[in-house]
Amino acid sequence: MKSPINQQRRQWLKYAAITAVGAATYPTWAQATGKFKAVNQPSANFIPDVEIELTQEVAHVQLLDGQKTRVWKVLGKVLKGPTEAVQNSTDTYLAPTLRLRKGQKVRIFLNNNLPAHSILHWHGLHVPAIMDGNPMFAIGTGETYIYEFELLNRAGMYWYHAHTHNLTAKQVYSGLAGLFIVQDDAEEALDLPVGEFEVPLVIQDRSFDKENQLEYSDHMMQRMQGFLGERILVNGQPDFVLPVSGQAYRLRLLNGSNSRIYKLGWSDGAKLSVIGVDGGLLEKPQVYPYVMLAPGERVELWVDFGSREVGTEVTLKSLPFESSMHGGMGMMGGGGMMGGGRRGMMGGGMMGMMSGSSLPLGGEYNLFSVKVVKAGKGKSKLPEKLTPLSKLKINDAANADKPRSIRLSMRHMSAFLNGRSYKMNDVKADEIIPVNTLQVIEFDNGFGGMNGMAMPHPMHLHGEQFQIIKRQVNANSSDTYASVSAGLVRGGWKDTVLVMPGEKVTVLKPFNDYTGLFMYHCHNLEHEDLGMMRDLLIK
Binding-site size for Cu ion (CB under 5 A) equals: 6
Q: According to the binding rule CB under 6 A, does residue 161 interact with ligand C2O?
A: yes
Q: According to the binding rule CB under 6 A, does residue 462 interact with ligand C2O?
A: yes
The residues, any chain, with a CB within 8 Å of residue 128's CB and separated by 6 or more, are 149, 514, 516
Provide the mask over 345-384, with x wherever binding to ligand C2O is found by CB under 6 A and - wherever it is not. ----------------------------------------
Select 348 or 376, whichever has its Cβ closest to Cu ion.
Answer: 348
- State the nearest-atom distance from the C-beta of 192 to ligand C2O, in Å: 25
Query: Taking every pair of C-alpha atoms in the chain, what is the biggest distance, in angstroms?
Result: 65
- State the nearest-atom distance from the C-beta of 132 to Cu ion, in Å: 8
Q: According to the binding rule CB under 6 A, does residue 226 interact with ligand C2O?
A: no
Query: What's the one-letter identity of residue 369?
Result: S
Q: How far is CA 518 from CA 124, 128, 486, in A?
A: 12, 9, 32
What are residue 160's DSSP bridge partners? 122, 178
Q: How many CA atoms lie within 13 A of 486 on its CB side?
A: 13
Q: How many CA atoms lie within 13 A of 183 on its CB side?
A: 14
Q: According to the binding rule CB under 5 A, does residue 223 interact with Cu ion?
A: no
Site for Cu ion in 449-508 (CB under 5 A): 457, 462
Taking a C-beta distance cutoff of 8 angstroms, is the pair 306, 247 a contact? yes
Site for ligand C2O in 402-461 (CB under 6 A): 460
Which range of residues in 246-254, 374-382, 425-433, 518-526 is near ligand C2O by CB under 6 A? 518-526
Which range of residues in 266-274, 287-295, 330-338, 520-528 is near Cu ion by CB under 5 A? 520-528
Q: Which does 163 bind (CB under 5 to 8 A by kind): ligand C2O, Cu ion, none?
A: ligand C2O
Q: According to the binding rule CB under 6 A, does residue 531 interact with ligand C2O?
A: no
User: Among 294, 351, 286, 356, which Cα is nearest to 324's?
Assistant: 351
Site for Cu ion in 118-157 (CB under 5 A): 123
What are residue 417's DSSP bridge partners? 408, 420
Instruction: Determine what percent of the chain falls in helix, strand and coil, rounding each to the nearest 5.
Output: 15, 40, 45
The residues, any chain, with a CB within 8 Å of residue 305's CB and separated by 6 or more, are 244, 245, 246, 247, 248, 249, 370, 372, 376
Select 101 or 462, whichever has its Cβ closest to ligand C2O.
Answer: 462
Q: Give residues in contact with ligand C2O (CB under 6 A).
A: 121, 123, 161, 163, 296, 460, 462, 519, 521, 523
Q: Write out the residues near Cu ion by the rule CB under 5 A.
A: 123, 457, 462, 522, 524, 527
